[in-house]
Structure 1
């Protein structure tokens, strides 16, 4: 349903239709789901002028309304970005089919065979701010994994989301997949209603600001997958290659500053501070980055003063906090205190220091000698991602196809009963993996 406010009753009806369509999708062969993805890609290509025009109208309205710079960067969906999203749909089609995949096949006894088989979660509820390209990523992953999805975009992206979903549903209508597997909600009232759809929605995935994700987590009984903060760190070790460190720092901060995997804090070992800080400051400032440093940093390179609040702030902008540390251990302690368990990186030529960092930093992604911007489902080869989870329990990190399927145990026997396998003279199990 698109356009107008939705009553609780009609939203329940949407939930019912999506769940029923998802059940039919789940039993289709992988070839049919891949054909549906190709139909989606072709429909998006055909509707590209309409989609980009709708996005231009959204961007114009957003500017007039004073939308924050980081959100505006996420909102923009030009022809190049749309083409990349469409390529992502086709990449998802090429991925191995997770539905029906057998990851355990065990003979418990003669004629009694156990299998653990991948199956869809059911219906996803995905709520996001200012990221219309998320519609394409999420819808394609949902179809490939056999799930239905109810999308709720931000008000600033309504025109874009409507144009995208209209094209996606038109593509699905030409295949064996019911278009009702992809739904779009458009009003603020529907957000709260979606969070109350227990029994119809199996997983909520919020994508947006810290406060937005926390709101979702606090207002639903449905399981939530996501992360509230993206406070990522880059630590430049005493044994760092400085040319490499400068390039990585600039990329991790400026390549897409509003992304959740952009760094917000730079830690520099005090032993190399006199050499490293001037190089870093010059390179970062050439990219219009505003620097904030602790007292020791400012004694070497003048800049704004950093406060304790800076260490726990996700700027999502061209602002970077810098702190000197006297040891690898101090860097790790700082990250584990202030980090959001998203992605953190070390630059060093010392393999022992790198291994210690990789082992001891508590984050979904821990990198050595590369930019934090690689923390992304597409770059990991997942085709796309529905979001990033910083939870300890899986799925963790960028969540692609594998995070959208669960499994069931299927046991097939020949009239077997449990009684002979219990008691003093219990018959032993074979437990033989096939």
Structure 2
């Protein structure tokens, strides 16, 4: 790691201790300042983004980048406005810090409180979407965490300008300097992964192979955002018009993102009625289709391979498989899915329950597009990513996923010796409803 990056990590570590004690109003003021600055400096942002997009399109022409990557990279005025609104939405969320999660009386005047606090220093590595830098920064600030940001080289100009704007916008607010750090050298990532004494959490956003690499090369806890191999299952009791709309939205509305559907599963009972119209609608939208043998007996599409069932296309591509029933659908999803987001379309609530309870995924929907799997749409303000693991956060990771807790014990001179031995006093261990307030006992 370079001396500069070593300094950045040290600055973030110091800033995290101070930021944990910055009041909510100040953190919200800083977020509103960021939103205002993004709007005021939109021309500067878009000019930098144009440089990134132009370079990415050259790489696309050479076959080095995909169209999906280029699409995720692009910004425009409407996108910048949505980014600014997202920052304001984060400011409008309830304060995740200082909440008393549990309160328990151990004995008279001996009270234990479990209170939400920031994680500390969070490192993130993410690819082409410049809005990810703003989302992650906004959530880190609101939750009182310092953040180390490493974006992809394809978005380097956009990320640099956005980070400068964030840093300058918060400089005039009482937020500790150094809370947000941009790491640009790719070789420094490995050194950051060694710094388990300074970095409290790593959040990689990328392929399963990349997340596995991070997990294998660090002792820092890892909250991984991996591929989205998502499915829509059209059940025999589905409203087929609804199913067609849901399956279309899940693929076509924005195919470049991780919550877009990649495999459509169709009950054999309705396949003959459903697939011809669905395929025609997909093809009219430019979707490249592949299917298993049963699908190809009904519609004219290319053959699907075993690899297709586990591929995140991130583009206008889709695989189709005809299944026997909901149990067959569940087996396929659990065997080939990425534990991201799955959806069933059916009018039978019992069948929906079988699917939703049987699937091992962070989000499972009934009669809704997989595209709803999103921190903003969930009411979280934004997200730092979608965790397909189970510890310590799962699904869209918002403010709560960036907090941990500590225990505060309020006493009045009690000694452990009092509660030991044959004549030990008993603990009461009674839960009660109260928020921790420093010095509350001495004020009574």
TM-score, normalised to structure 2, is 0.94
Q: Select which of 203, 206, 221 maps to 2:204.
A: 206
Supply the distance in 2 between the matched residues of 1:284 and 1:158 (Cα, whole angstroms).
35
What is the distance in 1 between the residues matched to 2:21 and 2:6? Answer: 23
Distance in 2 of aligned mates of 1:421 and 1:381: 46
Paired with 1:217 and 1:45, the residues of 2 have a C-alpha distance of: 37
Alignment partner, residue 161 of structure 1: 159
Deviation track 1:287-326 (CA, whole Å, cap 9, x = no partner) reads: 1111100001100001100111111111111111111111
Partner residue of 2:19 out of 6, 21, 25: 25
Size of the aligned set, in residue pairs, is 428
* Separation of aligned partners in 1, 2:353 and 2:226: 28
Q: Report SS of the residue matched to 1:267.
A: strand
How many Å apart are 1:432 and its aligned residue? 2.2
Q: Which residue number corresponds to residue 257 of structure 1?
A: 255
Worse-matched range after superposition: 176-185 or 160-169: 176-185
For 1:61 and 1:366, how far apart are their aligned partners in 2?
A: 38
Structure 1 residues 187-226: Cα deviation after superposition (integer angstroms, max 9, x where no partner): 2212222222221211111112333323322222211111
**Cα separation, 1, equivalents of 2:391 and 2:281:** 38
* CA–CA distance in structure 2, aligned partners of residues 346 and 179 of structure 1: 48
Partner of 1:298: 296
Residue 237 (structure 1) shift = 0.2
Structure 1: give runs of 5+ residues left out of the alignment.
1-6
Find the counterpart in structure 2 of residue 4 from structure 1: none
| In 2: Cα distance, 1:230 partner to 1:246 partner | 21
CA distance in 2, matches of 1:417, 1:206: 45
The equivalences for 1:26-425 within 5 A come to: 26-66=20-60, 67-425=65-423
Residues 221-254 of structure 1 show CA distances to partners (whole Å, capped at 9, x for unaligned) of: 2111113321111100000000000000011011
Q: CA deviation at 1:260?
A: 0.7
Query: CA separation in 2, counterparts of 1:30 and 1:152?
Result: 27
1:258 counterpart SS class: coil
User: Is the 8 Å Cα contact of residues 295 and 305 (structure 1) preserved in structure 2?
Assistant: yes
Deviation string 1:360-411 (CA, Å, 9 cap, x unpaired) is 1110000000000000001000000001111122300000000000000111
- In 1, Cα distance between the equivalents of 2:20 and 2:13? 10
String of CA shifts for 1:93-130, please: whole Å, max 9, x gaps.
Answer: 11111111111111111010110001100011111110
CA displacement, residues 240-274 of structure 1 (integer Å, 9 cap, x when unaligned)? 00000000001101111111111111110000111
RMSD between superposed Cα atoms in Å: 1.2
User: Which residue of the partner structure matches residue 3 of structure 1?
Assistant: none
**Larger deviation, residues 181-190 vs 290-299:** 181-190
Question: Aligned equivalents of 1:296 and 1:346: distance in 2?
Answer: 20
Q: Is the 8 A contact 1:170 1:179 kept in 2?
A: no
Q: Is the 8 A contact 2:257 2:314 kept in 1?
A: yes
Structure 1 residue 413 displacement after superposition? 0.7
Q: Specify the SS of the correspondent of 2:192.
A: helix
- Aligned-partner Cα distance in 1 for 2:391–2:164: 35
